Amino acid sequence: MTAITLADAAAARAQQVRQRADRPSQRRSAQQPGGRASVRASLSDVQVREQDGGGTVEFRGHASVYEQAYEMWDMFGPYTEIVSEAAGADSLARADLDVPLVLGHDQLRRLARTTTGTLFLTEDARGLHVHAPNLDLADYDVAYIAPKLRAGLIDEMSFAFRIESGQWSPDYSEYRITRYDIHRGDVAIVGYGANPHTAGATLRQPEPTQSSRARALLELSIARG
């Protein structure tokens, strides 16, 4: 496959895209057609804390980092994409907002959901903040992912959404998302991400007590089962 440069893709896009407000066509996260069009961000501030009683854990992270460029692809080739600060404000303000926290964008592996009061999404100075205060360790998927997050084996997030408005740069090499809709999308704990500005992720957790060590062993046993 012949490599397509950013400049080549931008030149082709400038000839074919009707106006700068047009959304990317066949938008995806990788060169190959058919890839998922999701934006990923490292969980550099992830927190997984065991709650009192040991039956639940609290999860915090960012599913997107605003005002930071990352590479995406459309039908013409690669381009740079940026999510603007407060781009999700209107969507997050919906009274009927329905967004789950899932593993790997798998809708059958839900950990929490806004409609059940177990997931809270807000925008802060960094981006789209995700807070699930009481994930149940009796849930197989929670027990599976918690030790991997603590160990730093998994340390990134992604979010699935629809672009409502945006604009290409004058040379069509960069697209800025100014408003997105996350209703009936998702926020996901994923593997590798695409945003180079999120390197060096770390994981913070409380000092383990005797009971939490026992709980961690139980979680590993469940995850391996």
pLDDT digits (tens, 9 = 90+) for 127-166: 999 999 999 999 999 999 999 998 888 888 889 999 999 9
- State pLDDT tens for residues 171-218: 999 999 999 999 999 999 988 654 434 332 233 333 444 444 444 333
Token pair in block for residue 92:
């997050």
Q: Delimit the domains of the chain by residue range.
A: 6-224
Name the 3-class secondary structure at 107.
Answer: strand
User: Which pLDDT does position 2 carry in this prediction?
Assistant: 67
User: Which pLDDT does position 54 carry in this prediction?
Assistant: 72
For residue 133, which of 141, 121, 147 has the smallest C-alpha distance?
A: 121
- b/e per residue, 156-181, with b = 16+ CB within 10 A? bbbbbbebeebbbeeebbbbbbbbbb
Q: How far apart are CA 41 and CA 25, in angstroms?
A: 22
> In this structure, are residues 131 and 113 in contact, taking their beta carbons and an 8 Å threshold?
no
User: Which pLDDT does position 49 carry in this prediction?
Assistant: 78
Confidence of residue 92 (pLDDT cuts 50, 70, 90): very high
pTM value is 0.81
Sign of the torsion angle spanned by Cα atoms 117, 123, 124, 129: positive
C-alpha torsion 130→134→140→142, nearest 10: 40
In percent, the amount of the chain with pLDDT more than 90 equals 64
